[in-house]
Amino acid sequence: MTERSTLAGGATLAITGSGGSGAVTAGLILLAAVGRAGDYGLLGRSAGPQIRGGESAAMLRFGPQPIECMGDRFDLLVGLDWENVARFADELPLDRNSLILTDAQAEPIPEILLRSGAQVRSLPWKALADAETEGRVNMVALGMVGAMLGLPLDALESGARATLGGKGGRVLTPSLDCIRSGYAAADAASVPPSAFAPPVARWNISGNEAAGLGAVRGGVRFVAAYPITPASEVLEWLAPRLELLGGSLLQAEDELASINMIIGSSFGGVPSLTATSGPGLSLMVEGLGLAVASETPVVVVNVQRGGPSTGIPTKSEQSDLNIALYGLHGDAPHLVLAALGIRDCIDTVEWAVGLAEHLQTVAIVLSDQILGQSRAIIDPPGDRAFGAGERAHLHRLIAQDADPDHRRYRPMSDGVSPMALPGLPGGMYTAEGLEHGPGGAPSSRAIDHAEQLEKRLHKLTGFDYGPGWAEIRGEGDHLLLTWGSSAGPVFEAAERLRASGVPTRAIALRLLAPLQREALLEAIGSAGSILVVEQNQTAQCFAYLHSQQALPRHARSYARPGPLPLRPAEIMRALTDRDGREEI
């Protein structure tokens, strides 16, 4: 980015600073301002391993089209200070066309950033802040950067009110004064004419908030969970809203308690959900087996982070796929879904709740830190964007009348038998983890075991999931295949390849289990070049698809662990690099 850029096509920028500098707050205001100015935007966050406190970075990309991933490089780096910024250096790719803004009184810019060749400009942020009552450097910088980006001042002020309004006038008033001071002090020669579109009513939402919205839209009215990064915001968003809807959220003492609480609530007829991350999911495995065996519908939203164990809780990775697919003991068929973007978190979680209720089983929804803790400006969601053939209102089959011969687990043509709720006369049955016969009585008979195994499997594999199993974009002999949050950079890579004359399709899997093998093979067709893209070390999805005989032998893998996000350019290189990793 040069100082005279018009920014008509948008830009990518980062704001960094030490703990308490307000880098993330400035980013949140800027995102809100971009939305109010008529553009789309995506804001990602990066923090150190301490989760709270310490240095942080807000990374923003905006433009006139929906933004689904960060770009390959940053146009602008705003350094509120340079303390520990080296920890973010590999997350902030700069080049000679980038611009670094720094305070004139700040410490020297670290050499690791200067090596990029980026231009540098020193600005009087602290001096301007000191001239204001309760001046704030981050707000002065925000005002100046907003002016350089061509943002209208009223959009910045509106964004500040939306972000800081809840903190009261003692915070909002001096912040607005500083924003105006910085805006007025921006060099007029560096301020491009505004290229933003007329304002349009759009949503500003994070992936975790979107997952919570999907849950309540699906009918969830009870949540029990134990806080864990990066899933806690799902619970924070749900707690007050569930209460307004007549539901409730309970913070359990640990993940074992939370999974058993939602099994009990669901057994009583209330659609129930928990949210966690990798270490929590592993603790829930025994309870999930109980839900499968007792055919009690529950949903787990697993917001993945870098693992194993405590791993890197503030960074993203797609390395919980194996435990989601295979972690349950015994033959325990269940659903595994993955949200494909922030907007898609709404649809996928809502769909998962409906499927779990209808099929009376466990649904694990895989999100991750980069989805959950990022915010985006999106168009307001209507009905689910996918699923023309999907049943709009999936619900649980409840036994309505007293039946002296009620057999809870009797085999049915579709495997789904009516579930009696507690208190229904004649609807009593035994529900537990032991294998059972059709009436629920514990049984160790081979015939009962085989019959119930088949019932639990058939109801999942025999169901028509409609077109929601994947999102498919573009045409071409080259194919990029992915799942979850990798969809954003894959879609952009495919679009760029098509624009450069390389016809490329992209398939992003939303329903991973049961795998829609026949539909996937049909979608793959006769693609001459196939690359499976994912963010983990051992190519977990690639291996899974091969195990299901759902990939041609010439398919290749591009799997890279976190925490650095996948970027479109590296995916483009991987597709065209014939020296990439060959099939397993």
Residue 52: the pLDDT is 58
Asked whether residue 382 carries a pLDDT value surpassing 90, the answer given is no
User: For residue 517, which of 486, 489, 492, 550 has the smallest C-alpha distance?
Assistant: 550
CB distance 362 to 286 below 8 Å:
no
Percentage of residues of the chain with pLDDT beyond 70: 92
Residue 465: the pLDDT is 94
Is residue 551 very low, low, confident or very high in pLDDT (cuts 50, 70, 90)? very high
Asked whether residue 584 carries a pLDDT value surpassing 60, the answer given is no
Asked whether residue 51 carries a pLDDT value surpassing 60, the answer given is no
CB distance 359 to 463 below 8 Å:
yes
Regarding beta strands 529-534 and 478-483, do their DSSP bridges make them parallel or antiparallel, or are they unpaired? parallel
Q: Which one has a higher pLDDT value, 404 or 342?
A: 342
Residue 426: the pLDDT is 84
Residue 87: the pLDDT is 81
* pLDDT tens figures, 558-575: 999 999 999 999 999 999
Residue 381: the pLDDT is 85
Is residue 388 very low, low, confident or very high in pLDDT (cuts 50, 70, 90)? very low
What is the widest separation between alpha-carbon atoms in the chain? 84
Residue 84: the pLDDT is 81
Strand order of the sheet with strand 504-509?
Answer: 470-473, 504-509, 478-483, 529-534, 556-559
- Mean pLDDT of the chain, nearest integer: 92
CB distance 25 to 45 below 8 Å:
no
Asked whether residue 580 carries a pLDDT value surpassing 50, the answer given is no
* pLDDT tens figures, 126-157: 999 999 998 999 999 999 999 999 999 999 99
pTM for this structure?
0.94
CB atoms within 10 A of CB 365: 29
Q: How far apart are CA 405 and CA 420, in angstroms?
A: 12
* pLDDT tens figures, 292-320: 999 999 999 999 999 999 999 989 999 99
Phi, psi (degrees; rounded to nearest 5) at 110: -55, 145
* pLDDT tens figures, 521-538: 999 999 999 999 999 999
Q: Which one has a higher pLDDT value, 507 or 52?
A: 507
* pLDDT tens figures, 177-232: 999 999 999 865 565 666 666 667 899 999 999 999 999 999 999 999 999 999 99
